[in-house]
Amino acid sequence: MRSWLFKLLALLMVFGLVAAACGNDDDDGVTTGPDEPAPAEPSDDGDDAPAPADDGDDEPAAEPADDGEEAPAEEVMMDGCEATVPGTKINYAVFSPNANMDPTGSSGALVGGTQIVNVWDVLMAFDPAAGVSNGQAAESLTPNDDFTEWTLKIRSGITYGNGDAFIAQDVVDSMLRFFDSRGDGMTNRAAGSVALIDFDNTEVPDDSTVIFRLHRGWSTFHTLLGDEPGMIVNPRIIAQLLDEEAANATEETSAARLVRNRMAVTPDLVNAASFGPYEVAEVEPNVRTVLRARDNYWGGPVCIEEIEFTFPGSSVANWEAFQAGDFNAAFLRDPRVFADAREAGAVLSSEDQNIGGLFLFNQGVRGAEVIGKDIRIRRAIHHAINRDIINERAFEGKLKTTNAIAAEGTLLWSPELQECADQAPSYDPDAAAALVEEVKADTGWDGSMLLVHADTDPGPEIAQAVEGMLEAAGFDIEVDLGPVTTVLIPRVIIQADYEMAGWGFNADGATWVASLNDNLLSTSGSNRMAFSHPDMDAALGELYGAANVDDQRAAIAAVQCVWSEQLPAMVYSVTEEGLALAPNIKGVQRAGATIFLFGNAYIEN
């Protein structure tokens, strides 16, 4: 138990946070997106998608009913520890192992987000129940009236592992790495959102203050600081590493990419450049990561000594190993598993991810001549694929299928949005076959198409079902199945060597604006498909300034209307994802999306 003084201080902090959240006070504390309501509650049938959101991250937060969301931070502060407890450990079953410990080399919540946030920490932490962001390494974040300017105050007294002081300029320099690494093998999708910061006019008036100025008003900018751009990497260490690698750089492999590669396998570098609650003890990229409690964490004692992240093989395997007692934390992303977990009464912290299951279409990434540039092919695919067949063959009928970018039961769904979604091509195999034959006749195309998909269960079943439906319409499909981090992500993000890919944007309460912008804006550095249309750019622009839920629903409905006309990708499901926890693990927090912080967590008894 923490000391009585620590309890008293914690209680006073809680009251301070509540007061800041409820009033219009300009004091430090909680910063929220203006007029952000608490998320709506969707139905109990969890939803899933087999491929990773390119760390796609976005934002119509919908909290599943009765899923046992973790206790708020105030309970953690009252019931934690006075020092790290020897021998305590979290065995965490991941969705996919991480390939890199560098935030710019992570692919988000599904592929490394939790591993890295516990090492780097984060500026703001998103509260899905309230739809607001609270200060973490930041004290506050305050917007002006039109959300074009946000003033960030960072906490004093934080030092990196190498002893350097954390100062405000570090925030800008660290975030610039996302901006500067566009197109340079960076797997994180945040480049598109970071590019909305007007770095030329952003100011750092003192060591504790950053005044962000944006190219357009963004009412939920605070959520970006709870994602990888809010994980600050000591820029002095990065500058030193870049100097060291300059002589080794080639046209194919830049110094920045070599630095990311070193960070992936060198715990000492990561630990020196970070200030989060944990340090890297062992790392084997794409296999295993072990973290150990930092003994001088700025936030106070870290109760749990060790976290080991490993990959049993799928959500089903994660759940089975969790039930067997091999893991006391397991990431789940499969509706079949969530149904079992709820029936078993498991403690869950989860959220529905809009655009969680979809197929990307390469429309000319890096100038490639691909058949997906022809909208008739994209239309044919929509006509050829029956979502219900995917559901039955891969998910035992438990998947919540949808043709909409915001599914019914999630916060930003509306009848107007659904009306636009229903204008997209529906299942019609005869129409699909006719379009395929038309394109063959016009272009000489032979019907061939490469489908890249994760091999994680039920990925093979999804790919097989889609292959059969497309070939029935006249396509000649080649399927490439492989692990998320070593096949799917490199083929889609780094090599752009695909024509169709199983994927997910993962638009949840913390990420909905960023996810849509990063993946669909024509000028986004994270646009994986090379999709470009002025009407979509205009519709996305309206999303940023939407400050209340009615405006947000109207804006996302407009995006849906353009989506249904231009068919950048094909949505087939909304997907539930999140964490199953042993009942004696308390105080786990959300940083952003389904990324989990263990700095204030403890194991009861």
Per-residue model confidence as pLDDT tens digits over 137-159 = 999 999 999 999 999 999 999 99
Looking only at the bridges linking them, the beta strands covering 602-603 and 329-332 are unpaired
Contact 220, 507 (CB under 8 A): no
CA pair distance 37, 20, nearest whole angstrom = 16
Per-residue model confidence as pLDDT tens digits over 449-508 = 999 999 999 999 999 999 999 999 999 999 999 998 889 988 998 889 999 999 999 888
Domains 4-36+72-325+599-603 and 355-574 share a fold: no
CA pair distance 274, 118, nearest whole angstrom = 10
Q: What value does the mean pLDDT of the chain take?
A: 86
Q: What is the pLDDT of residue 218?
A: 93
In the DSSP assignment, the letter for residue 332 is E
Contact 516, 468 (CB under 8 A): no
Sign of CA dihedral 453, 99, 106, 87: positive
CA neighbor of 504 nearest in space, from 53, 47, 50: 53
Is the model's pLDDT at 23 over the cut of 80?
Answer: no
CA pair distance 271, 163, nearest whole angstrom = 11
The domain limits of the chain are 4-36+72-325+599-603, 355-574
Is the model's pLDDT at 443 over the cut of 80?
Answer: yes
CA neighbor of 54 nearest in space, from 230, 189, 251: 189
pLDDT tier at 182, thresholds 50, 70, 90: low
Per-residue model confidence as pLDDT tens digits over 379-424 = 999 999 999 999 999 999 999 999 999 999 998 999 999 999 999 9
CA neighbor of 110 nearest in space, from 173, 47, 57: 57
* H or E stretch at 314: none
CA pair distance 414, 557, nearest whole angstrom = 7
pLDDT tier at 35, thresholds 50, 70, 90: very low
Q: In the CATH hierarchy, which top-level class contains the domain 355-574?
A: alpha beta
CATH number assigned to the domain covering 4-36+72-325+599-603: 3.40.190.10
CA pair distance 260, 60, nearest whole angstrom = 31
Contact 58, 507 (CB under 8 A): yes
